[in-house]
Amino acid sequence: MNYPLLNLFWTMLWLFLWILWLFLLFKVITDIFLSHDMGGWGKAGWTIFVILLPYLGVLVYLIARGKSMGNRDRARAMKAEGDFQDYIRKAAGTENRDAGARHVDELARLADLKNSGAISDDEYRAAKSKLLA
C-alpha cells in the first residue's frame, strides 16, 4: 500500500469540506422553504439558482439573506422553547391553578418563614388574615 500520510491528510480534508458543503447546501434549501417572507416565485427562483449553480447560488444566498436566515433560526428556536415550556407547565399542572391552590402555597410559604424565624408570630397572623380575607 503506497499512500503517503500527506495524501491521506488531503483526502480527509477534502472529504470533510465536501460534507460541510452538503450541510450548508441543505441548510440553505431548508431555509428557502421555511422562509415566510418570500413568495412562491421567489422560493422557486432561489431553489433553481441553488441547484443549477450550487456554489455561486449558496454564496449569493448567504450574502443576500444570511442575516435574516439567522433571525429566522433564532425565532424558530425561541418558539420551540416556548412551546416546550408551555407543555411542561401544562403537564405539571401549574398552568391553570385556581386561587385556592395558590393560597395553599402562599400559606405554606408563610409557615416556612415563621418556622425559620424570618417573620414573627404577629407578622405571620397579619399576613395570614390578609391572605384569607
* Spatial contact of 58 and 20, defined as CB atoms under 8 Å apart: no
**Phi, psi for residue 100 in degrees, rounded to 5:** -65, -40
pLDDT of amino acid 122: 87
Give residue 96's pLDDT.
Answer: 53
Residues of the chain predicted below pLDDT 50: none
pLDDT given at position 31: 93
- The phi-psi region of residue 35 (left if phi > 0; otherwise alpha if psi is between -120 and 50; otherwise beta) is beta
Q: Which three cell numbers stand for residue 24?
A: 450548508
C-alpha cell, 7: 495524501
**pLDDT, position 28:** 94
pLDDT at position 95 is 54
